[in-house]
Structure 1
Amino acid sequence: MIRKFILPLFLLFSIVSFSQNGSASPYSFFGVGDVKFKGTHENSAMGGLAILPDSIHVNLQNPASYASIKLSTFTIGGTFNATQFNSNSANEKAQRSSLDYLAVAIPMKKFGLAFGLLPYSTVGYKIKKEDDVNNITRRYTGDGGLNKAFLGLGYQITPRLSIGTELSYNFGRIETNSIKYLRATQNDGSQETNVSEMSGLTINFGAMYTTKINKNTQFYSALTFTPQSNLSSNNTSNLFSIRYLGDFTPIPIDFLDAQTSKTTIKLPSKYSFGAGLGQSRKWLVGSEVTFQESNTFSNRLSVANNVTYENAVKYSLGGFYIPNYNSFTSYFKKVTYRGGFRYENTGLVINNQSINDYAFTAGLGLPLGGTFSNLNFGVELGKRGTTKSNLIEENYTNILISLSLNDKWFVRRKYD
């Protein structure tokens, strides 16, 4: 059994081991960074659709789905990202790889328990601005992010209706640097370093309802609600005079000032509703909409005067198709074929321009041997942002790979 998983595990960790900085986007400067999709790659390949109470895949978006798990499941996923950044004056490219989630789900009769770790947000950017009039160069860098450790419980009230709740602890560290130097004075200048250490709790509620329409077709629906929550942020700001030599690390010359503060960051409330039609182990098509009250969001530090927030909304459309999950003659008939589309108004507004994000998605679920375990591949082709108002447009390709291992745990021995 273990040998069957050696190659998939090697492929997965060869991708995620390159780097753990999951963002190269300049938009990760704002708020708590680039907020990550809270779901598995199986859902990502369907445009983010998460309305199915699956028995062998963990649905991280809706805790009610944990009650549908029939086998103990371990899942892990990683992403390789390639992005083309376009502005009115320049074009750049960047590549990143990241570990996206690690989770375990355990069935307990009518209950289902799940726990794991995933990133909530990531920060990673390097920006250079030249002021030829005043002979000044500015450089901005940032890294870090928030992580989420969660514990969720789902309960099957009836064979048609399940509910669930999930408690998460968010924690992390973000460091940003702002460097300014005069090219005419042997690159003498100043550097401001801001460090924020954040932590806080969030809770998520979910419900799923399934009913038969006819012999071969079922109706699926799902609801989630996440109330507004707070993060406590301990901030430290240090100011140095520096000497900056080319592209090398700036050399601190003199310590100028230090300040500390404690702020509260509001994470906005969010709720979603989705519905679709399908046939168990055969096909599914559905849509989902997610609303987020981002106008209540606040930055870590009040340093961005050209930034506001508006209510965010995301639309997902997707599904899957399995030709014959029980085929004995063709492996490809047992493969799960996924596809979808998503469009999102992120809620971030810069220079009076709303930052939108959309992508086309596709993927494959490959069964492993004679088990219920599977190796999943996916791709996202998308665009975020705009070149209007001196902003940046991101054209990205995400290559997704995940592994879902299923087995019976905690089985009492019949023979010693």
Structure 2
Amino acid sequence: MNKLKYTIICAMTLGLFGYSQTNNLTSSPYSLFGLGVESNSGTGRNSGLGKTGISLDATYGLNLYNPSSVATLRPDEFFLDVGGSAELVSFSGSDTDDYQSTYNFTNVSVGFNSDGKYGLAFTLKPSTSVGYSLIGLQSNVEGSSDEFVTNIEGSGGLNEIRLDYGRTYFNNLNVGIKASYLFGKIEESESILTTNSFLEVNEVNYYRGAQLGLGVQYNLLDKHAFGFTIDFPTVLKGTKDVVIGKYSNLAYTLLEETEDEEIDSFDMPLKLGFGYSTKIKNLMLTADYTKNLWSATNQSDAIGDYVDQNIYGFGASYSVDPKSFKYWKRVDFRMGLNYNSGYLMVDDTKIDTYAASIGLGLPLGKRSLLNISYTLGKKGTTESILIKEYVNTLNINISLSDLWFQQRKYN
């Protein structure tokens, strides 16, 4: 039976890996900047709690917001967590209004606790996502009255393979470490149309690099929980492939082709996170603060500058009686608020995001859950050259629990 479970998990992992490499997880024009927009992926209940979780344990499933939380999985417990996300985004600007929808898998995670000694989790998920289109940009040929039209499309993003390890000390202190490998490609296709010819430029940028992080959780009087995380800065190495071709009089001419050309590395910043949660009977309140020190990377985008990023999250969950035999008394009701200052300054304006979420944790057994959340977010502004986005996000996440590794007993 265990071999069958392992086979299913491996097949799902490989399938989701393929999706993460080929499908866009965003339609945001802001994914034009840097390595794209930060992924919406997550596990379990976090999406319904305003993206908080630095101080939360693994009572309701795997928690990727703090690697030390895997230490709180029950002895011999095995978790499989699979998530999906759908987005409907409305755009508004000085001269545009549009709607776009995207959907895809957002994560696959497996975790277990070996005989209560330590917790271990393996995750594959998107880290950033790119999906933008700039259609019908008109310009004049220099020194002439002739016009040409440019169309630009971008896709891809980075993926993250991640290993979390956590142990418990003194019964109330959890310590964890995570090791991540970031990799992926960002494709940009540019076509330039004139009255007599068609120029096509295809550029694919590849990035890769490793990153380490630490996490700590401390429980006080079984009522208050504190959490701290740190992701150390790292450098992602990059290369690019470029193909430039021209169509004229129905004939194609290859003008340039290069492979594995080195490009500027991309610096990932130092990230610090602080979390607190408390329980009041069956009500849980949680709050997180994260600071990403982008300004210390001393890098800039062609259109904007990188600035320090501040993220505030607040969440609450309530269940009537988690131990009841009645189904709806065990349902976990959730809500949350989140503010993200953004890490890009464009035309002296920060691209920030406000979001509110609601969610449900529907029991599928003693420890398994179907997690559903809806988030409404507002990103950007219509000032200057910027675009305002209203993002409707539906997250569906299945967290399945089972007891493994136990020896069978015979009378």
Q: TM-score range by the shorter chain?
A: 0.7 to 0.9
* Residue aligning to 2:283: 283
Contact 2:157 2:185 in 1 (8 A): yes
**C-alpha deviations, 1:286-305, integer Å up to 9, x for none?**
21110001124577xx8x53
Are 2:402 and 1:407 aligned?
yes
Distance 1:20 1:99 in 2: 9
SS in 1 for 2:63: coil
Q: CA deviation at 1:42?
A: 1.0
Q: Which of 303, 306, 313 does residue 303 from structure 2 map onto?
A: 306
Q: Which of 235, 239, 246 does residue 234 from structure 1 map onto?
A: 239
Q: How many residues align?
A: 388
Distance 1:191 1:104 in 2: 43
Contact 1:270 1:290 in 2 (8 A): yes
Amino acid at match of 2:93: S
Instruction: Give the gaps of 5 or more residues in structure 2.
Output: 2-14, 141-145
**C-alpha deviations, 1:70-92, integer Å up to 9, x for none?**
12111011001000011110111
Contact 1:35 1:122 in 2 (8 A): yes
**Alignment root-mean-square deviation, CA:** 2.7
Distance 1:243 1:278 in 2: 70
CA 1:297–1:124 in 2, change beyond 3 Å: closer, same or farther?
A: farther
Distance 1:298 1:123 in 2: 23
Q: CA deviation at 1:132?
A: 7.1
Are 2:357 and 1:356 aligned?
no
CA 1:191–1:353 in 2, change beyond 3 Å: closer, same or farther?
A: farther
Of 349-358 and 38-47, deviating more is 38-47
**C-alpha deviations, 1:90-125, integer Å up to 9, x for none?**
111111001111111111213111112011111111
**Superposed counterparts of 1:326-337, under 5 Å:** 326-328=323-325, 330-337=326-333
* Residue aligning to 1:294: 294
* Residue aligning to 1:7: none
Of 17-26 and 148-157, deviating more is 17-26
Q: CA deviation at 1:158?
A: 1.7
Are 2:79 and 1:67 aligned?
no
Q: CA deviation at 1:269?
A: 1.1
Q: CA deviation at 1:394?
A: 0.9
SS in 2 for 1:61: coil
Contact 2:295 2:306 in 1 (8 A): yes
Contact 2:44 2:398 in 1 (8 A): no
Amino acid at match of 2:147: N
Are 2:209 and 1:200 aligned?
yes
SS in 2 for 1:28: helix
Q: CA deviation at 1:136?
A: 2.8
**C-alpha deviations, 1:222-265, integer Å up to 9, x for none?**
10000101111111233222469xxxxxx883222345224321
Distance 1:352 1:128 in 2: 25
**C-alpha deviations, 1:102-153, integer Å up to 9, x for none?**
1111112131111120111111111114327763322110111111111111
Contact 2:191 2:201 in 1 (8 A): yes
Per the normalisation by structure 1, the TM-score is 0.87
Amino acid at match of 1:253: Y
**Superposed counterparts of 1:45-84, under 5 Å:** 45-50=48-53, 51-70=55-74, 71-84=77-90
* Residue aligning to 1:5: none
SS in 1 for 2:327: coil
Q: CA deviation at 1:181?
A: 1.9
* Residue aligning to 2:225: 220
**Superposed counterparts of 1:365-380, under 5 Å:** 365-368=361-364, 370-380=365-375
SS in 2 for 1:332: helix
Distance 1:202 1:279 in 2: 37
Are 2:121 and 1:125 aligned?
no
Seq. identity, %: 28
* Residue aligning to 1:87: 93
Amino acid at match of 1:276: S
SS in 1 for 2:192: strand
Amino acid at match of 1:95: S
Q: CA deviation at 1:352?
A: 2.2
Distance 2:248 2:133 in 1: 19
SS in 2 for 1:60: coil
Contact 1:49 1:319 in 2 (8 A): no
Distance 1:385 1:153 in 2: 37
Per the normalisation by structure 2, the TM-score is 0.88
**Superposed counterparts of 1:267-278, under 5 Å:** 267-278=268-279
Are 2:309 and 1:346 aligned?
no
Amino acid at match of 1:233: G
Distance 2:344 2:247 in 1: 33
